[in-house]
Every structure is written in structure tokens, then in C-alpha cells.
Amino acid sequence: MEATPPLPEALTERWCAAIARRHSRRSFQDRPLAPHERDAMAAHCRTFRPFSAVRVVLLAEAPESLFAHRRDDRPTMSAVGRAYMGIMGSYGRISGAPAALAFAGELAPGAADARPDATAQGADAPDASLRSASRSDDSDFAIEELIGYVGEAAVLEAAALGLDTCWVAGFFSPGLTESLIGAGTGEMVFAVSPLGHAADTLSGKEKYVFQMGRPKKRLKLEHIALGLFSKDWPHWAVAGVRAVQTAPSATNRQPWRFRLDGDTIVLASNGPDTYGVSKRIDCGIAMLHFELGVRQAGRGGHWEPPDTGERLDVARWRPTAASRLV
């Protein structure tokens, strides 16, 4: 089974500091990226490639039409989901972003045709989160969690540079984005993010969206990880879960759940997808935050496929031998 490569120590410190600075913003100042900001983000996208099938592409000039369309509006989406997405489409669109990041992944041959339409799954679809696109290199990781992991690394790097972002998986034009990045055969854009300097004050639409999504309301740690503060959980695992608590997720749903399994930690989704956005992307974001928290606590390890047979399980954190249950 493939394992995630270790993060360099310098990046761990840099991105841990960026977690506190990162806030999702949708309204931006009308000014382009400075040359040093553009070059730094381009260098990150070019060099941080822990998985060959996933890449982040910097669009130094992003047309406003990139954020002007919903990914899909199929009649098979539930009435509740369609109504919510309609409201979010009116009030939650990106405005004024000078640049963007595109999060793209390669699918296995034939996977794009076989993959169910995520956006066609309503909020009450029974098995949406159990379906995921497969990797092109036969890894046991699904592509969505790798998109979340690598994409959030770019988001945190942007925050470290003083730039603002916002994960967008439902309201963008995938066809236009794939054209702009020169997507290859079998490559799909799963999400995008605006990139730039946020407006000095929250716009009316941002206040509305934030009130709906309640972004400041975070789940309690013991809800994310049952029994977290018992004597059985090692301190480095508690540190990892703490780092996840403020991670971004679609509509602030925070679907990640952690459990202790022997001397490892298993990450799972809390159930089916909602509003046409894969919870595995959210869980991939959580994977990076957890790893940063663990490494900041002075422990090593790596993510690997869960190999549990449980359909909602996403990944397993295996600590290095010297750090197990310490």
C-alpha cells in the first residue's frame, strides 16, 4: 500500500503557523498579485507534488466567469439540496479575485465514465460518500482525499504569503478551468480557490453566507474523536485532532471523525455526501491538518490506506515506531 511521504520540517512549521491566519474569503481587492507573490505560489505548485496524479495549478489571471457557474443543476438533486445551492449561488459567489488555484487529479482509464455524478446526489442520497474516483496509478487512496491534502497545502502556503483563499467545489466552471490549465486526458478539476487580497471588510454577501454556514461554530474535540481525552489517546494524536478543528470544509459540515485503532488512528467520513460535494475532499484537508499537528508535537508517521473494510474509512495514520502511544 502506498503511504504519504513525510513533510519537510520547514514546511511543517510554516503551515502550522498559517492555520491560524487562514480564513475563507469571497470578496477581494481589485489588484493583481505582486510579482513575488505570484512567483512564490507558482514555485509551490511546481515543487509540492507528493502524489503524481494530483496537481495544483496557479491561474495568475482568473476570469470572473470561472466562478460564475454552478458545476451542475441536475433535476435528480433533492429539492432541499437544489434550494440550498440556489441560495448559495446567489449570495456566495466569488467577486474581484485577481487569481485562482485549480485542484486537478487524473482518473484511471474509464473512471470518468463509470464515476457517478456527485452533483446529482441529493442531501439525502444514501450512498453518495461511498463512491469515489480512483487513482490513475492504482493507489488504494481515492483521488478526492489526495485533492484535499494537496489543495490545502497550497491554501496554507498562500496564507503564509499573506494571501486569502476560499475552497470552492460547487460554484465554478470546470470546463473553463480545465481549458485554462490545459487538462490532460483523464484529468479532472475537482475544486478551485480564488487567490488574492481580501477586501478590508466583509461584504454583505459574505456576512450572509457566514451566518448560514456558521463558520465559527466548530465541533467539540470529543465529538470529532470519541474518547479523545481518555488515557488511551497519545498526546500527539490529541495535538493532531486539535489542528483539524479549524480546518475548512464544504458548508462548514466538518465530516471528519477519528478513532483509535490499536497504535494507529483511523480517519473516516461521518456519512453520505451532501450538496454534491465529496466529503472525502474535506477529509483530505483534515489529513494534512492532523499530520501538521502531530509533527508539531514532535512525532513522526505517515498516512496509508485504511484497509479496514469499512466503506466510510478514508485513511490510517501510522506513527513511527519510536512514537507509538507515547
Q: Which three cell numbers stand for residue 268?
A: 473516516
Closest of 62, 254, 282, 82 to residue 172, by C-alpha:
62
Same domain, 189 and 256: no
d(CA 25, CA 287): 22
At residue 246, the pLDDT reads 94
Which of 213, 247, 265 corresponds to the end of one domain? 213
Q: Which three cell numbers stand for residue 40?
A: 512564490
Task: Say if 47 falls within a structural domain.
Answer: yes
Long-range contacts of 80-89 (CB under 8 A, 24+ apart): 80/122, 80/123, 80/124, 81/122, 81/123, 81/274, 81/275, 81/276, 82/122, 84/123, 84/275, 85/170, 85/275, 85/276, 87/212, 88/170, 88/171, 88/209, 88/212, 89/171
Same domain, 45 and 115: yes
CA atoms within 13 A on the CB side of 138: 1
E strand or H helix at 103: strand 99-106
At residue 101, the pLDDT reads 98
At residue 112, the pLDDT reads 53
Same domain, 248 and 175: no
In sequence order, the 6+-apart residues with CB closer than 8 A to the CB of 34 are: none
Q: Which three cell numbers stand for residue 26?
A: 469571497
Task: Say if 286 falls within a structural domain.
Answer: yes
| Structural domain count, the chain | 2
Same domain, 156 and 285: no
Same domain, 209 and 247: no
Strands 99-106 vs 313-319: parallel, antiparallel or unpaired: unpaired
At residue 3, the pLDDT reads 82
Domain harbouring 188, CATH code = 3.40.109.10
Which of 160, 179, 213 corresponds to the end of one domain? 213
Same domain, 164 and 236: no
Same domain, 186 and 230: no
Task: Say if 4 falls within a structural domain.
Answer: no
Same domain, 21 and 142: yes
Same domain, 168 and 243: no
Task: Say if 192 falls within a structural domain.
Answer: yes
pLDDT by 10s per residue, the chain, length 326 = 568 898 988 999 999 999 999 999 999 998 999 999 999 999 999 999 999 999 999 999 999 899 876 655 434 444 544 444 444 444 458 999 999 999 999 987 655 554 444 333 333 333 433 445 555 454 679 999 999 999 999 999 999 999 999 999 988 999 999 999 999 999 999 999 999 999 987 665 555 555 544 445 899 999 999 999 888 999 999 999 999 999 999 989 999 999 999 999 999 999 988 777 899 999 999 999 999 999 999 999 999 999 999 999 999 999 987 644 44
Task: Say if 273 falls within a structural domain.
Answer: yes
- Boundaries of domain holding 251: 221-323
Same domain, 201 and 243: no
Task: Say if 2 falls within a structural domain.
Answer: no
Which of 213, 237, 269 corresponds to the end of one domain? 213
Domain harbouring 225, CATH code = 3.40.109.30
Task: Say if 264 falls within a structural domain.
Answer: yes
Same domain, 98 and 204: yes
Same domain, 226 and 206: no
Task: Say if 3 falls within a structural domain.
Answer: no
d(CA 136, CA 224): 31
Whole-model pTM? 0.85
d(CA 40, CA 17): 17
